[in-house]
Structure 1
Amino acid sequence: MAIRRDALAARREALGFTQETLAQELGVELSTTGRWERGTLTPQPWRRPDLAKLLKVSLDELDILLNPPQTTTTGRSSATRREVMVDAALLTGVIAADHMLGTHSEEPLRQQATLVSASAGVTDLHRKYQAARYGDVARRLPEVNAAVDALVAGGPARQRREALGLQCSVAIVAAKLATKAGDGEAGWAAAERAREAAESAEDTFGLAAAAYQRACALLRAGDSENAEQIAVSAAAGLRGQDPQSATWRGALTLISSVIAARRNDFAAARERLDHADELARWLGADDNIGWTAFGPTNVLIHRTSVAVALNDPRGTLATAEQLDITALPVGLNGRQAQFHLDSAWAHAQLVEDPQAVIHLLETERVAPELVRANPNARSLIEDLLARERRRDVPALRGLALRTGVAA
């Protein structure tokens, strides 16, 4: 029975490779890298040195990624198989070191983190954030942050640049979490830490990610003018003709389109959305490079958000009808929830309360933590309650109780 190599996939994602770009670098078919990760095919010995080099691991560490432990469970587990495997990947660097040294240690992860284990930890944080599991991210963040900081401060000199890249990436998670919670000041501080780490690492895409989070933090704090300037400037500075450059140009262009809409500049918002759409079509797929989820579906989600910002409920729903939300990569619960929230707002504006509640229930289903914490969702539920018709929308009262809007 094939065992999925989720730690191998996590390592690839952490370094910004898609299955396609990794296949291109190695000169193999796209299906080959997918089969490696599904566990139905194992890289031939002569492929492994090149694969290890691209993944920036030793051959011993690669061997562990290719031979994950087989776990058997009884009863129902609260963790998915993928989560279990990713968490197991946190130990791969330590295990590899023990194999080479012939020793075994039970020190905490933060005391013996390696580049591989720290990278898997950061990947796990990003994945959980995109799944809208914000409580899990908040609990895990300090440990992973400490492990990464220890690598930067005392890790091997030859690995310092990649350790700084991880430091940037974990600061990006912290910035996202703070901004999501409504703390623009803390979001800005974390984004600035990301920028400093990216500058030290000379990481172009880390700087792009930091710029995006700085813009988000400023927008949350009400400084849309500087937020827009940062986003537009950062996008203009990315001139590469490669998937990562196109992805970050597109992501920064999308946030600037939302900012333009909030200041009622329909022309600028539409022009930027069209430019982002061109970049997404050039990429050709809904990918998740750099944890951006950028692609054609994400552009449509932002078109609905722009219509919301322009107070255009009919335009919001017209765009939503073009969306196949299932086209997004698995695990992007936060993006799915945003689509449902925007749709709920539009229906509520048109006094179509049953449809609004249906979308709110879908928001709760895919991202329960988000609907409980999001001020826009709570405000929308309050507005619907104010004109509640229980016979038409019987599920509204239960939703309000579960989210704490009603006592």
Structure 2
Amino acid sequence: MGIADRRKARGFTQEGFAFAVGVDRRTVGRWETGKSKPQPPQRPKVAEALQVDLEELDALLAPVKALPRPEGSEASDDQGPGDPDEMIRREFLRLMALSGALATIPAAEADALNGSADDFGRMNGHLWQVYQLARAKQSVYPVVQSQLTAVNDALRDGRVATDSLCIVAGDLFQLAGELAFDANQYGAAAASYSLAASASREAGAYDLWACALIRSAYVDLSERRYQRAADTLGAARRVAVRGDSSLATKHWAAAVQAEAFAWLGDFDACEEALDDAEKVADLGGQVSNGGWLRFDGSRLAEERGARYLQLNRLGLAEEALKDALKLAPLAAGHSFRRRGAVLVDLAAIGAKRRDSEQVMQYGTEALRLARASGSGYVARRLQTLTAELGTLGRDRRIAELRAEIGTLSA
């Protein structure tokens, strides 16, 4: 048994264990892969969390002989059910490099091939709907992986014209990235979004390309690379301007860029970006497609509330967040992910005000939603809340809430 097995036996996720011992999740990952070991001052706390003595901890940390890998494969610290198979991504890139001949096929034959592309597109749209409705997002992963394999097979067999295939792949790799991101597999998510952006750019699909950049920026936001995220989102906004003016792509990019500016403490830039995002209300007709573009402005109240919270404008934040709960209650289709985020933010406001009742009211409901949905996103948001709870002293209920969050399975 290694340290990872013991962690799992104790009911900890990597993030929960990292919080319990006071380190970053990536540090735990390095311990578990044998790339590093806890420093002497850290070892007593690690042993306590794992309920072992120091001698047993040394045994858990002993290097484990790795199994031989297939020739040409690479090790990864970011594997799991949310990680699209690296071989699928490599195969797609290899086939794209060999697909130039497809561009020379006769027009009539290309029309026939596009029928297959339409079939792929319809299936992609169905998968996005299933993903959006699924409580346990990872249940969608096997079907997405199968679709990715089918896309590669179609390219290898020359059954789909190159541009059409790039659009299909740009769409599907974004969904694969979403699944990886929701499972906290940031490396796999970033790789999928990068491939989605490349495929979309190849096809000249500007809105699809911009959405891949926006999703890529979410990885940077999660890893606190705020300036990098703001720069990526600025690029996404420029790409989106070249796309379909009837779609909400550029407004979504502005809404997410507001988050990056808020983390950077730039109130004016944040407000300007939020105002640009709200111009989505000026668009007519269908501004999103329900798949790779789902932004329609309906959640801007909660977005604005979250940004004000980041900027420590608590009164403005609470007003906007409570409006968001009224406008989109769970019974009317408000997703677990969205509602959970709003509840966590309201609990954080309570913590900043040292209001234990508000923390318990909203924090407990957010925890319940995280457990019911299995959402890694809501679990991550709750993990960030625990840093705020330390200001509330020795309130037993708060201590129990922190403990439950720490062992939450994401």
Partner letter of residue 377 of structure 1? Answer: L
What is the deviation of 1:380? 2.5
| Among 171, 174, 180, the residue aligned to 2:173 | 171
Please name the residue that 1:351 is paired with. 354
Q: 3-state DSSP class of the match of 2:333?
A: coil
- The 1:120–1:337 alpha-carbon spacing in structure 2 relative to 1, beyond 3 Å, is farther
Please name the residue that 2:259 is paired with. 258
Please name the residue that 1:302 is paired with. 303
Q: 3-state DSSP class of the match of 1:151?
A: helix
- The 1:142–1:264 alpha-carbon spacing in structure 2 relative to 1, beyond 3 Å, is same
Please name the residue that 2:381 is paired with. 376
- The 1:207–1:357 alpha-carbon spacing in structure 2 relative to 1, beyond 3 Å, is same
Query: Is the contact made by 2:259 and 2:307 (CA closer than 8 Å) also made in structure 1?
Result: yes
| Among 200, 212, 219, the residue aligned to 1:210 | 212
Please name the residue that 1:145 is paired with. 148
Query: Is the contact made by 2:383 and 2:405 (CA closer than 8 Å) also made in structure 1?
Result: no
Partner letter of residue 296 of structure 1? Answer: G
- The 1:266–1:373 alpha-carbon spacing in structure 2 relative to 1, beyond 3 Å, is closer
Partner letter of residue 153 of structure 1? Answer: R
Q: 3-state DSSP class of the match of 2:407?
A: coil
Identity of aligned residues (%): 18
Higher RCO (CA-CA < 8 Å; seq separation 6+): 2
Query: Is the contact made by 1:195 and 1:210 (CA closer than 8 Å) also made in structure 2?
Result: yes
Please name the residue that 2:159 is paired with. 156
Partner letter of residue 236 of structure 1? Answer: R
Partner letter of residue 173 of structure 2? Answer: A
What is the deviation of 1:235? 1.0
Query: Is the contact made by 2:237 and 2:250 (CA closer than 8 Å) also made in structure 1?
Result: yes
Query: Is the contact made by 1:283 and 1:295 (CA closer than 8 Å) also made in structure 2?
Result: no
Cα distance in 2 between the residues matched to 1:225 and 1:161: 33
Q: 5 Å matches for 1:3-402?
A: 115=117, 118-131=120-133, 133-154=136-157, 156-158=159-161, 160-239=162-241, 244-245=246-247, 247-283=248-284, 289-323=290-324, 324-326=326-328, 330=333, 332-368=335-371, 369-370=374-375, 374-381=379-386, 384=389, 387=393, 389=395, 397=400, 400-401=403-404
Query: Is the contact made by 1:280 and 1:299 (CA closer than 8 Å) also made in structure 2?
Result: no
Q: What is the CA deviation profile of residues 335-379 of structure 1, one whole-angstrom value per residue up to 9, with x for unaligned ones?
A: 222222222211222222333333234334544323686333034
- The 1:200–1:219 alpha-carbon spacing in structure 2 relative to 1, beyond 3 Å, is same
Q: What is the CA deviation profile of residues 253-292 of structure 1, one whole-angstrom value per residue up to 9, with x for unaligned ones?
A: 0111111111100000001101111223435899665444
- The 1:314–1:209 alpha-carbon spacing in structure 2 relative to 1, beyond 3 Å, is same
Using the TM superposition, name which of 314-323 and 253-262 deviates more.
314-323
Please name the residue that 1:47 is paired with. none
Cα distance in 2 between the residues matched to 1:388 and 1:354: 14
Partner letter of residue 344 of structure 2? Answer: L
Please name the residue that 2:65 is paired with. none
Query: Is the contact made by 1:165 and 1:197 (CA closer than 8 Å) also made in structure 2?
Result: yes
Partner letter of residue 254 of structure 1? Answer: A
RMSD, aligned CA: 3.6
Q: What is the CA deviation profile of residues 234-269 of structure 1, one whole-angstrom value per residue up to 9, with x for unaligned ones?
A: 213333695653x10011001111111111000000
Partner letter of residue 241 of structure 2? Answer: R
Q: 3-state DSSP class of the match of 1:296?
A: coil
- The 1:155–1:351 alpha-carbon spacing in structure 2 relative to 1, beyond 3 Å, is farther
Partner letter of residue 381 of structure 2? Answer: N
- The 1:145–1:359 alpha-carbon spacing in structure 2 relative to 1, beyond 3 Å, is farther
Cα distance in 2 between the residues matched to 1:142 and 1:404: 29
TM-score by structure 1 length? Answer: 0.60
Cα distance in 1 between the residues matched to 2:310 and 2:189: 22
Partner letter of residue 138 of structure 2? Answer: G
Structure 1: give runs of 5+ residues left out of the alignment.
1-112
Q: What is the CA deviation profile of residues 12-65 of structure 1, one whole-angstrom value per residue up to 9, with x for unaligned ones?
A: xxxxxxxxxxxxxxxxxxxxxxxxxxxxxxxxxxxxxxxxxxxxxxxxxxxxxx
Cα distance in 2 between the residues matched to 1:195 and 1:118: 18
Query: Is the contact made by 1:313 and 1:347 (CA closer than 8 Å) also made in structure 2?
Result: no
